[in-house]
Structure 1
Amino acid sequence: MRRFPVRSLAVLAAVGTLALSGCGTETSGAADSAPAAGGADRTFRAHQVMQLTEVHEETGMTLLEGPTFDRNGDLLVVDVTAPPGDPKVLRVDVRKKTSQAAHTDDRGNYTSAQTSPHDGRLYLTDYSHGEVVSLAPDGSDLRTFFSGEVDGARMNPDDIAFDRKGNLYISDSRSQSPGDARGRVVRIDRDGEKATVVADSLASPNGISFDEDYQGLWVSELTQNRISYLRLDEEGAMTSRHTAIRVDAGIAQTDSIAVDADGNLYQALHGRAAMAVYSRTGEHLATVEVPARAEGLESATNVAITPGGTKAYMTVSGPAGGYLYTFDALAEGIRQSNGG
């Protein structure tokens, strides 16, 4: 998720959303759209699928996040800054290039979406209210899954990663101050009864994804432009932690993360309509960009790769609106490359 600048925080507060202060298997056919796995660093172009949103008059912006395929093959996308009454979750048919509202309410600022392997419900993080909520697959039946403090501190939950059993791992940013590393990774059991801190002293953690074999978590730290790796034991406790990749992004910052079947990392960039792709050993394999002629697009926030296929769908936003772009991934999509 893109961090809210001061202006955006004020706008969200004005509309009552702040309390106290991201399925087709067809290929594009474009020769420049697929990087060679294990090859040299390449830059290649994503292709526009469709525009999903316009800038909201009430909030002054639109911000797409959390793309995730549901069990019917539809792509679900959240609009973080959508005001009450406008779609906060959209359902997209990527083949027909159509979209429709899947859910709205008068409160949430949802920054990610992910379907649980435990109960099949769609889980959303409400960044502003420190909550995790869930929906039925059709977008109905809104329930609060978790709310309240964790180890004495309220969360600002950003992205979600599920383990195989359906337990949630949340990137809890907690702070937007560049020099204040108070962020955490929080584990919430699949019933929502117990929440524990897996790691702390992180610099505005944003993206979070398990690696391809569920041995550890990749976590992007937005205000340090780095990706950390947290190795976990069988109980979900951290056994080691280190800085794995330092992202040279200039004025852009590290946003959400996805991982494909070969373990490659797709690092979204806030402040640039692009995504950096790395191997699990830290080699910079490729950079995905929207065409230069696509003006008014400032950030690529997240990506979902078709489960079992290589077609990737990237959410891109800016003053021009919220768009969906596509490119061919280096390897097949798995749960770890399906939103978060």
Structure 2
Amino acid sequence: MIQNKYIKYAIILVSILIPIVTFYFWQIFYTSNLNVKGKRDFYLLIPTKSANFETVVDSLEANKMVHDVMYFRFLSKLLKYPEHVKPGRYKIKPNAGNYEVIKALRSGNQTAVKLTFNNVRLKQELVEKVAGKFEFDSTEFKRMLNDPEVAKFYGFTPETIVGMFLPNTYEVYWNTTPQKLLGRMKSEYDKFWTAERKAKAKALNLTQDEVITLASIVEAETKKKDEKPRVAGVYLNHLAANEPLRADPTVIFAIGDFGIKRLLHNQLLYQSPYNTYINKGLPPGPINIPEPSSIDAVLNREKHDYMYFCASPKLNGYHIFAVTYQEHLKNAKDYQKALNQLGIKK
């Protein structure tokens, strides 16, 4: 009888303890413990050189991201996370539980950095787009872009390598290396250059680098997609006639003053290999990173006899095209008149 009584008590005790223990572990696993009451995602950065558990805990505590560090440590050890710390960038959503975060950290399930290239004119601007987004030092990235041997490895020169960075948004891991980033961009570049695009470049008697360089001039001349093939056709007509391109954006690029609205005669004589008023052919490299639409505009250029164009006096972003120089002078005069009326001298 007494033994049965103890068994009965034991069963009652266990039945009480099981829910308590279950609830306790449920709290440890799933109750909000990280980024509690946060209003936005937090990104935990775990450096490659110091990827250890204490670094993770220190970072969470320094950023006030962990509510109960004891719970976090307990479950981390239970899941053997201290032995499997992986560097990277990890997203912690508001009111995240220990288990979901530790699981992501332990598996190395990073949140990629979104890297966007657009409106880039100078190599330094490209470096600045990358600066601060990754673990590596941007100065090393800049050095590699200017290194002739690095450029040669990817099939470019220091002047043309920026053409490898096609405008788009890419997802790249925070702890990638400059070498891996360059490799990724080369891979995207190679994907873009399909057999069809290569065939069209060959038909124009242009290399891929030359297509991108010409596309950068088209890009600088007009933002109107429907006009780009016509602009490209003008410059291809100049190349076919072995005449200087006389592209104003190349002079502005050479001078380095992108605030210029109106080029003066002496500026057209500025000594630079990029000045297409005094040099025949294409400049040494792109004067910006052109959009794919500009590259395709060159590859699918409009066939016509136009040799000249100038901005429309309507100042609507479009241009007026001409076959003869006399027509062009008239169009240019109308445009200059529009600038004078607005008081634009430079």
Structures share fold, TM-score greater than 0.5? no
Greater Rg over alpha carbons, structure: 2
Q: Which of structures 1 and 2 has the larger relative contact order (alpha carbons within 8 angstroms, sep 6+)? A: 1
What's the TM-score bracket when you normalise by the shorter of the two chains? under 0.3
Q: Which has the higher strand share?
A: 1
Q: TM-score, normalised by structure 2?
A: 0.22
Q: Which has the higher helix share?
A: 2
Q: TM-score, normalised by structure 1?
A: 0.22
